[in-house]
A = this chain, B = another copy of it.
């Protein structure tokens, strides 16, 4: 690809998402010059050692200088402060994007600091693993995954299109959505599943009558699927729940309601209700397989794959 959608790209935050973006850009043959910055010297050193970014800078200000695209890839709660730091150093006409898991709060935190003539295009690549940090990334993370693009009504159309072109080159499919709908969809498909998984793992860890050792030994019976997502970065998830409070609490309410209904069916021995409920949920699984968003392999497809 000779004509990269952005000639100079700055990645602020060098964790799982930013490092995967960098490797995916290289894989796509984009000739953009990529600068990077992370808060800690340790992360910057690791990035330099890995060859992550064409240039790792010691300040965010330096990294964003002359950039055509600046991507904020830090925890959701850090988006506002980071934007405030870099704002005076942005090139007029540049595009600022971010990859946070929550949108309405991030838009509210970032927008007040936006200089005149700088375009803001929030995005959310719906892909991840339970790993974090600069060495967690890999080029295929976004392949065949969705990247939600969450512009506001007044956002410059050309800036939005270029961000979409960029994500398509990284392997993702893009879809536009408004911030409120985004936050509700993500509460359902991501935030509440993570909260529940964290809770289940916490309960298991806490039960005196069953040793941690037993929980670990026998985890293949379902529990390990929960531990996987409950091993994600605590800071990222703290920020997600604190910033997507309304949708989280609404969906949690619905979840608890349904769980209580099933508990009642168990207590009263209502096998018909249980059977009907468990049958209905199979259809969604089938849909996910058909949409190519998971594999149907036995043993949950958990063969060892190479990075």
Contact between A301 and B304 (Cβ–Cβ < 8 Å)?
A: yes
Contact between B293 and A297 (Cβ–Cβ < 8 Å)?
A: no
Binds B, one of A82-90, A110-118, A153-161, A218-226: A218-226
Grouping DSSP codes into helix (H, G, I), strand (E, B) and loop, the A interface class, with mixed when no group exceeds half, is helix
Q: Mark A168-201, 1 if CB is under 8 A from B, else 0.
A: 0000000100000100111011111111111111
**Which residues between 256 and 307 of chain A lie within 8 Å of chain B, taking CB atoms?**
256, 258-259, 262-263, 266-267, 269, 271, 274-275, 277-288, 291, 293-295, 297-305, 307
Q: Mark A25-57, 1 if CB is under 8 A from B, else 0.
A: 000000000000000000000000000000000
Contact between B298 and A305 (Cβ–Cβ < 8 Å)?
A: yes
Inter-chain contacts of A226 with B (CB < 8 A): 193, 225
Contact between B220 and A294 (Cβ–Cβ < 8 Å)?
A: yes
Interface centre among A214, A218, A301, A305 (most CB of B within 10 A): A218
Check A184/B200 contact, CB under 8 A, given A195-B262, A230-B285.
no
> In the bound complex, what is the Cα–Cα distance between A215 and B258 (angstroms)?
18
Check A237/B274 contact, CB under 8 A, given A189-B218, A249-B266.
yes
Contact between A140 and B223 (Cβ–Cβ < 8 Å)?
A: no
A78 sits at the interface (CB 8 A): no
Check A228/B300 contact, CB under 8 A, given A199-B258, A245-B267, A278-B237.
yes
Check A188/B216 contact, CB under 8 A, given A259-B199, A284-B201.
no
The contact of A303 among B221, B245, B252, B303, by CB within 8 Å, is B303
- Copies of the chain in the assembly: 2
Contact between A205 and B284 (Cβ–Cβ < 8 Å)?
A: yes
Q: Mark A230-269, 1 if CB is under 8 A from B, else 0.
A: 1110110111011001001101101110110011001101
Contact between B234 and A249 (Cβ–Cβ < 8 Å)?
A: no
Min CB gap A179→B, angstroms = 14
> In the bound complex, what is the Cα–Cα distance between A286 and B215 (angstroms)?
12
A152 sits at the interface (CB 8 A): no
Q: Which residue of B lies closest to A126 (CB)?
A: B221
Min CB gap A281→B, angstroms = 4
Interface, chain A (partner B; CB < 8 A) = 126-131, 136, 138, 140-141, 145-146, 148, 175, 181, 184-186, 188-207, 209-210, 212-232, 234-235, 237-239, 241-242, 245, 248-249, 251-252, 254-256, 258-259, 262-263, 266-267, 269, 271, 274-275, 277-288, 291, 293-295, 297-305, 307
**Smallest CB-CB A-B distances: 4 pairs:** A231-B285, A190-B221, A234-B278, A193-B222
Offer 12 A-B interface pairs, CB within 8 angstroms, sorted by A: A126-B218, A146-B220, A184-B210, A188-B203, A200-B255, A206-B258, A219-B291, A238-B278, A245-B266, A245-B269, A295-B302, A303-B305
